[in-house]
Amino acid sequence: MCCAARGFAMPIVLILVVVVGLMTTVMLERQSTQRLITFRQLNWYQEHHARLGLQEGIEAWLKSLPSNTNLQSILPPDGHFLDLKLRGGTTASISLHERQNAVLTDMSGVDGAMLGAIASIAAAVEDVYGTAGPPDGLRTIGPPQFSAHTTSPELIELAVEAVTGDSTIAKGFARSLVADRESNGGIASAGAVGMAIADSGADPELRSQLARLFTVRPTLYFAIVELRSSTVGPPDARYGGYFSVANNRDLGSTERSAFLTWENLGVE
């Protein structure tokens, strides 16, 4: 009788051990998941507030400039223009790089007057360079116009030929525009696009299309922010995003949407 009771009790004990083990495992997994969720929320909170603080710093700098300032003309070659001291001793090193040399591939925000031209350019670029795009790059955000300052000669010529269907016009336009900016230290003059149109020999209808296609006042930049706690070694973190100066030229504006995108770029 006693042996039978002990034999019956042993499976019960084993079952209890298994149940307790399973419950402990589930509790540990839940705690691990909760820690991960908390870490992600804290990380998001830190990045979100860092973004807002850095955005305000850039906006303040932009608003300190005269309203007629051509931003491209005052940025150094490496784009580095501002260092901000953050709480805790961290320094945020900020660079801006003009990005209206890249080809716009998302047509959803392009108005009817330019839709055909931009679609033709995107198709021509894919035919020549494939889905990887040209050295100038591809983008899905920002104005459709190309920058007269930074667009490569090859892309200028390709874009103009895609719109006009005339390689002679394209070569003449590109040659004139590139010569203008080379004679002005790499920055196209205020009348560079008009002179390039005249030099291209395009007819009046094509001239209006080309005038809409290039700009000497680009508004789309890519901001790179490096956070450093030391002056030596790699940065602690790197963030970046497309940044529009268009919403910040009006000194009376209260917009807080200068960053169009924001991402963790990782540390190289």
User: What tens-digit pLDDT sequence spans the chain (268 residues)?
Assistant: 555 555 556 667 667 666 766 677 767 666 666 665 554 554 555 566 666 777 777 777 777 777 677 777 788 888 888 888 877 788 888 898 999 999 999 999 898 889 999 999 999 999 999 999 999 999 999 999 999 999 999 999 999 999 999 999 999 999 999 999 999 989 999 999 999 999 999 999 899 999 999 999 998 999 888 888 887 888 888 888 888 886 444 434 434 446 788 888 888 6
Count Cβ atoms below 10 Å from residue 54 Cβ, excluding itself: 24
Q: Is residue 50 part of a domain?
A: no
Q: Is residue 248 part of a domain?
A: yes
pLDDT of residue 247: 42
**Do 211 and 223 lie in a common domain?**
no
**Do 180 and 228 lie in a common domain?**
no
**Do 117 and 207 lie in a common domain?**
yes
Domain count, the chain: 2
Q: Is residue 193 part of a domain?
A: yes
**Do 172 and 268 lie in a common domain?**
no
Q: Is residue 8 part of a domain?
A: no
**Do 175 and 146 lie in a common domain?**
yes
pLDDT of residue 268: 67
The range of the structural domain enclosing residue 109 comes to: 104-215
Last residue of a domain, one of 215, 231, 256: 215
pLDDT of residue 234: 85
Q: Is residue 42 part of a domain?
A: no
**Do 82 and 164 lie in a common domain?**
no
Can you list the positions of beta strands (E) in the chain?
80-85, 91-98, 103-104, 138-139, 146-147, 214-215, 220-228, 237-244, 263-264
**Do 226 and 96 lie in a common domain?**
yes
pLDDT of residue 62: 73
144-176 b/e (C-beta count within 10 Å ≥ 16 → b): bbbbbbbbeeebbbbbbbbbbebeebbbbbbbb
pLDDT of residue 36: 58
Last residue of a domain, one of 215, 230, 245: 215
Q: Is residue 264 part of a domain?
A: yes
**Do 235 and 180 lie in a common domain?**
no
Q: Is residue 245 part of a domain?
A: yes
Tokens of residue 131, six digits: 């889905």
Tokens of residue 50, six digits: 């860092």
**Do 160 and 129 lie in a common domain?**
yes
**Do 124 and 178 lie in a common domain?**
yes
**Do 188 and 205 lie in a common domain?**
yes
Q: Is residue 4 part of a domain?
A: no
Last residue of a domain, one of 215, 239, 254: 215
**Do 208 and 169 lie in a common domain?**
yes
